[in-house]
């Protein structure tokens, strides 16, 4: 738990950490509904998402009307997280943090983040099929660690008022029941094979669900503003202008959208000029010194990507001129010779890296890794349900957070750096700047 010294600058803001005993309990649905509830009261709501997540933040950003930043003590570091909270507390009326997985899962866990910054936890639990046991689980979690402060239980999928009363009685005043929420499919958020559907695909539908979510919350205790939390300042020197004058083209459309706002903010802070283009719809690349193909869902749009022959030609020429390209996960698949989609249909991709990509159903790979690049270590994570084969010899591998086996392969040819890893740029700005200007050529090449 953070101890604040009298000499530190402090910003105070009501804050709440929504966590759960497991995934699938309704955290995102409730966080989004709560953000919209307070936003519609005229309050400025800043939402943070625990862990390396791209899809939930899109939903939460639309609900709150404010940028959503991912926070993780390993990937981003405590100093970065502290700085983000302090900045938000200076201008927000409410800070909400959505946890990841179960409250104590992972190293570091959601509980570690909540404890580090003294943010009280509201436990979201799907109570379908249990009553008094829900109270036992909630109280057990509340007493598991002394440094985690609990403010109450949100009983999701709570059948009736009698159901809620059984839970309330079992809690026996040891923990407030902040809300009892009936099951409502009209409020739940749509999902896909890697998680939630992207917000821009269902924007109007989401608006309807947010409005229903406000009514779903009603006027229960969870809707009250939580107590203010003190967030201490964290002095972080602004990054050097290592990308001054560098024009970076960023692929962004329905196929490539897994882009941390923290990454683009850093590129701009280092002086880069950013332009966005669509490999799906644009016929040509923008004027650029470097390209970034982030992750996304190229497998859902493989036919359209393959049919955009002029864009494929431009990317091949850009690579032939040895200009820097960073390709992550879905972007990595786009750089291979071809991609086989979920229907087992194969489409031609750019072919600037030898190999083939293919989807593989529900099996996949995920987890925190450090990208051990020639330019330096950059914190990252992997999350994919595809495989690649017949690729060149990698120049390096990711270093897993807690396992000795080699992580994801990292490839470099010409100016291309490609991997399944999603990089978190603020973890090593200098290395990232070099990726987009003059990537180091390994000795074997």
122, two tokens: 């509201």
Contact between 426 and 74 (Cβ < 8 Å): no
- All structural domains of the chain with their residue ranges: 10-232, 247-435
pLDDT of residue 193: 42
How many CB atoms are located within 10 Å of the residue 60 CB? Answer: 25
CA distances from 237 to 88, 234, 260, 269 (A): 18, 10, 20, 11
Q: In residues, how long is the chain?
A: 445
Question: What CATH class does 10-232 carry?
Answer: alpha beta
How many CB atoms are located within 10 Å of the residue 109 CB? Answer: 22
Tens-digit pLDDT profile for residues 405-422: 889 999 999 899 999 999
What DSSP string runs through 415-439? Answer: TEEEESPEE-GGG-HHHHHHHTT-P
What mean pLDDT is predicted for residues 103-122?
97
As a whole number of angstroms, the distance between CA 269 and CA 429 comes to 10
pLDDT at 300 over 60: yes
Contact between 404 and 371 (Cβ < 8 Å): no
In this prediction, residue 376 has a pLDDT band, given cuts at 50, 70 and 90, of very high
Q: What share of the chain is helix, strand, coil (3-state, %, to 5)?
A: 30, 30, 40
In this prediction, residue 2 has a pLDDT band, given cuts at 50, 70 and 90, of low
The hierarchical CATH code for the domain 247-435 is 3.40.50.880
As a whole number of angstroms, the distance between CA 299 and CA 331 comes to 11
Q: Which residues of 273-290 are buried (b: 16+ CB within 10 A; e: fewer)?
A: bbebbebbebeebeebbb
Tens-digit pLDDT profile for residues 308-366: 999 999 999 999 999 999 999 999 999 999 999 989 999 999 999 999 999 976 655 67
pLDDT of residue 82: 96
Tens-digit pLDDT profile for residues 247-283: 999 999 999 999 999 999 999 999 999 999 999 999 9
What DSSP string runs through 199-227? Answer: GGGGHHHHHHHHHHHHHHHTT-GGGSPPP
List, in order, residues 6 or more apart from 224 with CB less than 8 Å away.
none
Per the confidence metrics, is the pTM higher than 0.85?
Answer: yes
In this prediction, residue 195 has a pLDDT band, given cuts at 50, 70 and 90, of very low
Q: Which of 13, 81, 151, 329 is catalytic?
A: 329
What DSSP string runs through 275-292? Answer: EEE-TTT-SSPPS-SEEE
As a whole number of angstroms, the distance between CA 237 and CA 298 comes to 37
What DSSP string runs through 23-67? Answer: TTSSHHHHHHHHHHHHHTTT--EEEEEESS-SHHHHHHHHHHSS-
329 annotated active-site: yes
Q: Among residues 428, 8, 423, 50, which one has the least CA distance to residue 235? A: 8
Name the 3-class secondary structure at 388: strand
Name the 3-class secondary structure at 126: strand
Does 247-435 match 10-232 at the fold level? yes
pLDDT of residue 192: 43
In this prediction, residue 426 has a pLDDT band, given cuts at 50, 70 and 90, of very high
pLDDT of residue 196: 42
315, two tokens: 């990317």
* Mean pLDDT for all residues in the chain: 92
Q: Among residues 48, 34, 377, 367, which one has the least CA distance to residue 220? A: 34
Contact between 355 and 390 (Cβ < 8 Å): yes
Phi, psi of 285 (to 5 degrees): -70, 150
Tens-digit pLDDT profile for residues 119-147: 999 999 999 999 999 999 999 999 999 99
195 forms bridges with which residues in the sheet?
A: 192
Contact between 327 and 335 (Cβ < 8 Å): yes
Q: Among residues 423, 191, 193, which one has the least CA distance to residue 300? A: 193
pLDDT of residue 124: 97
Phi, psi of 419 (to 5 degrees): -170, 165
23, two tokens: 């995934």
354, two tokens: 């030898």
* Residue written as token pair 């050529």: 441
pLDDT at 444 over 60: no
């Amino acid at each position: 738990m953070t101890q604040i010294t009298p000499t530190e600058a402090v910003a105070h803001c009501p804050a709440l950490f929504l966590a759960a005993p497991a995934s699938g309990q309704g955290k995102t649905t409730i966080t989004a509904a709560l953000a919209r509830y307070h936003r519609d009261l005229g309050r400025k709501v800043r939402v943070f998402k625990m862990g390396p997540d791209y899809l939930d933040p899109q939903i939460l950003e639309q609900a709150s009307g404010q940028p959503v930043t991912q926070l993780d003590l390993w990937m981003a570091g405590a100093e970065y997280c502290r700085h983000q909270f302090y900045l938000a507390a200076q201008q927000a009326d409410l800070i909400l943090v959505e946890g990841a997985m179960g409250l104590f899962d992972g190293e570091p866990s959601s509980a570690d983040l909540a404890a580090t910054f003294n943010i009280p936890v509201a436990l979201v639990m799907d109570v379908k099929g249990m009553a008094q046991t829900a109270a036992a689980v909630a109280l057990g979690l509340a007493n598991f660690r002394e440094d985690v402060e609990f403010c109450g239980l949100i009983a999701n999928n709570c059948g009736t008022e009698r159901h809620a009363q059984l839970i309330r009685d079992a809690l026996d005043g040891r923990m407030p029941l902040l809300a009892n929420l009936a099951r409502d499919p009209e409020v739940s958020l749509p999902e896909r094979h890697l998680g939630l559907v992207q917000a821009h695909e269902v924007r109007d539908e989401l608006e309807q669900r947010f409005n229903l979510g406000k009514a779903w919350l009603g006027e229960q205790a969870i809707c009250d503003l939580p107590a203010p939390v003190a967030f201490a300042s964290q002095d972080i020197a602004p990054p050097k202008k290592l990308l001054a004058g560098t024009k970076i083209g960023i692929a962004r459309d329905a196929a490539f959208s897994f882009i941390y706002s923290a990454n683009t903010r850093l590129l701009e802070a280092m002086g880069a000029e950013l332009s966005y283009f669509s490999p799906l719809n644009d016929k040509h690349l923008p004027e650029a010194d470097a390209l970034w193909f982030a992750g996304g869902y190229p497998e859902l749009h493989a036919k359209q990507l393959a049919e955009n022959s002029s864009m494929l030609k431009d990317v091949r020429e850009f690579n032939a001129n040895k200009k820097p390209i960073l390709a992550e996960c879905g972007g990595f698949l786009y750089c291979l010779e071809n991609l086989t989609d979920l229907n087992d249909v194969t489409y031609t991709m750019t072919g600037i890296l030898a190999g083939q990509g293919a989807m593989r159903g529900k099996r996949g790979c995920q987890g925190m890794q450090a990208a051990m690049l020639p330019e330096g270590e950059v914190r990252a994570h992997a999350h994919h349900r595809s495989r690649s084969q017949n690729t060149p010899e990698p120049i390096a591998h990711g270093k897993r957070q807690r396992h000795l086996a080699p992580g994801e392969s990292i490839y470099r040819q010409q100016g291309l750096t490609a991997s399944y890893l999603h990089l978190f740029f603020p973890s090593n700005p200098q290395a990232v700047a070099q990726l987009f200007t003059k990537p180091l050529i390994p000795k074997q090449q």
